Amino acid sequence: MALLNFIPDWLLTHGPAFLMALPLIMAAITSILPNKRVAWASTFIVTAILTITAFALALYNAEVGTTVYKMGGWAPPHGISLVVDALSAPVLVLIALMSFVTVIYALPATVAEIKPNKRAPFYAAFLLCVAGLLGMVITGDAFNVFVFLEVSSISTYVLVAMGAARDRRALSAAYNYLILGSIGATFFVIGIGFLYMETGTLNMADMARILADLDGGSRVAKVAFGFIIIGLGLKLAMFPLHTWLPGAYAYSPTPVTAFLASTATKAALYLLLRFTFFVFDPSYAYVADVLMYVLVGMGVFGMVFASLQAIFQTDARRMLAFSSVAQVGYMLLGIGIATTASVGAGYLHLINHAVIKGGLFLALGAMWYRFGITRTEDFKGLGQTMPWTMGAFTILGLSLIGVPFTAGFVSKINLAGAAAGAGWWWAVGIIMLTSILALVYIGRLLLLAYFQSPPTINGVVVERNEAPLTMLVPMWALALGSIFIGVESDAVVGASIRAAELLLGTG
């Protein structure tokens, strides 16, 4: 590709390590910066560099295929490897890009939501979270997955708790997240221990080879798989292991909510794909049973019941949080069907939902920034008082429903097509039903915003008061990105199919 000619060779060679090392080092430096604007500028520059690096690695992967970086020059399986392939490259771009978008938005948002003496630590914790998410996606070592999972989780608990400056319930939400997240991490690391007992290695590619030689392994491997599924199920908010998510999303600082909704559960879902289809294999009977009865079952229940819960929420952020649980169900359904088309559709929805839900939470944060809006009934007249913000929210809301020419439509039509192709017509019906439920809870907000008059204060109608430009640009970038994916979907759909082909060995 011509663009690769402008990228220095050292970045392509050492980019995988650079993605992890840069935010880790800069987090320590940022935490002691005395000036909050310098801390923001430092984070802005770091996330911009990470985005460029992730794009460069993705382009390089598209041209040369899978690349393996040997940490310290030690070859795997004895050394730690970093892997950039068709599965990890798009997720790396997603995490880096969403961190950059979030930091732009955070310039005014942190002033309103974070205490002055905590803004530098806020940006430091944010960079640690980014480093953890990038590390758990790119590493080829199973124990390193756990290490980076904990780096991202611990920093996330701190970020959620910082919402206490706006709402004290953030403290209880962070505590709940801490307890359940720790349980999930414990299950996951126990599963890794059993896998090590069975295979004698921590390199994931080596694990896959040894398990294949053992025809799936003994009962130890089956127990390991069960622990890993439960641990990752908690991390990705799989129904009914999702109880930490509504509070964490509702009471976190807005930049944190938007970033977590876009990346944290998506990175955990990536790990579910990596372990289920790469380390293990759907041809193993116990893996096939989990795919069919656990992932599909919990995915469908989550799609329906979380959508119903979203309808009855009076807090807009909790409504979108339950919606996220339902959207995770779509992804699990695609993974559980376990065909190339369905896994590709689930992976596609992982990417598209990150764009959609991140933008929706950014729009909600702007509404709180100007008018203190958190309840759904407060949307009255927002089409007049905040037309640009509401315009972005409308586009992204329609995308969440699955209206044609949006990213959400591309995801759902591909998933429905994959389900129909596998003969799962009942799943097509579930997709249509939950899309109608999404129309109900999103449509209610749009009706209030465009068909109700703005509220009055002391008999005076609230005047137009739009969000600042640094908030509008990120949310509109995501809204236009959703439309672009809906109209020009070939690149994203192609990347999703390549990821599915890598996992299922059909490429």
Residue-by-residue DSSP string for 293-362: IIIHHHHHHHHHHHHHHHHT-SBHHHHHHHHHHHHHHHHHHHHHH-SHHHHHHHHHHHHHHHHHHHHHHH
Average pLDDT of the segment spanning 456-480: 79
Average pLDDT of the segment spanning 151-173: 87
Residue 94's pLDDT is what? Answer: 93
Task: Compute the distance between CA of residue 187 and CA of residue 223 in angstroms, rounded to an integer.
Answer: 11
H/E stretch holding 81 reads: strand 81-84
For 139, the 3-state DSSP assignment is strand
Average pLDDT of the segment spanning 153-178: 87
Per-residue pLDDT at 34 exceeds 80 = no
How many residues comprise the chain? 507
User: CA dihedral in degrees (33, 38, 44, 49; nearest 10)?
Assistant: -70
Residue 61's pLDDT is what? Answer: 84
Mean pLDDT (the chain, rounded) = 88
Output b/e per residue, 71-104; b: 16+ Cβ within 10 A. Answer: beeeebbeebbbbbbbbbbbbbbbbbbbbbbbbb
Per-residue pLDDT at 5 exceeds 90 = no
Per-residue pLDDT at 292 exceeds 90 = no
Q: What sign has the CA pseudo-torsion 11, 145, 411, 398?
A: negative
Residue 96's pLDDT is what? Answer: 94
Query: How does strand 456-457 pair with strand 460-461?
Result: antiparallel
Residue 462's pLDDT is what? Answer: 65
Of the candidates 396, 391, 245, 386, the residue with the CA atom closest to the CA atom of residue 313: 245
Task: Compute the distance between CA of residue 88 and CA of residue 272 in angstroms, rounded to an integer.
Answer: 12
Residue 271's pLDDT is what? Answer: 93
Average pLDDT of the segment spanning 194-222: 88
Residue 503's pLDDT is what? Answer: 87
Per-residue pLDDT at 204 exceeds 80 = yes
Integer distance in angstroms from the first to the last C-alpha of the chain? 21
Distances (CA, A) of 3 to 36, 395, 494, 507: 35, 31, 19, 25
- The model's pLDDT over 403-414, given as tens digits with 9 standing for 90+, comes to 999 998 999 999
Residue 4's pLDDT is what? Answer: 65
Per-residue pLDDT at 459 exceeds 70 = no
Task: Compute the distance between CA of residue 227 and CA of residue 180 in angstroms, rounded to an integer.
Answer: 15
Per-residue pLDDT at 11 exceeds 90 = no
Q: What sign has the CA pseudo-torsion 435, 330, 352, 178?
A: positive
Per-residue pLDDT at 374 exceeds 90 = no
Q: Which residues is 237 bridged to in the sheet?
A: none
Minimum mean pLDDT among 134-138, 197-201, 373-377: which range?
373-377
- pLDDT over 90 percentage in the chain: 39
Residue 148's pLDDT is what? Answer: 92
Per-residue pLDDT at 457 exceeds 70 = no
Average pLDDT of the segment spanning 356-382: 86
- Contact call for residues 452 and 380 (beta carbons, < 8 A): yes
| Greater model confidence, 20 or 6 | 20
- The model's pLDDT over 97-115, given as tens digits with 9 standing for 90+, comes to 999 999 999 888 888 888 8
Eight-class DSSP state of 34: S
Per-residue pLDDT at 8 exceeds 80 = no
Q: Which residues is 81 bridged to in the sheet?
A: 70
Residue 3's pLDDT is what? Answer: 63
Most confident of 326-335, 363-372, 459-468: 326-335
Q: Sorting pLDDT into bands at 50, 70 and 90, what band is 239?
A: confident
Residue 12's pLDDT is what? Answer: 76
Q: Sorting pLDDT into bands at 50, 70 and 90, what band is 49?
A: very high
Residue 456's pLDDT is what? Answer: 64
Amino acid, single-letter form, for residue 117: N
Residue 354's pLDDT is what? Answer: 92
Residue 147's pLDDT is what? Answer: 92
| Greater model confidence, 33 or 151 | 151
Domain ranges for the chain: 283-507
Residue 98's pLDDT is what? Answer: 93
Per-residue pLDDT at 241 exceeds 90 = no
| Greater model confidence, 163 or 456 | 163
Per-residue pLDDT at 73 exceeds 80 = no
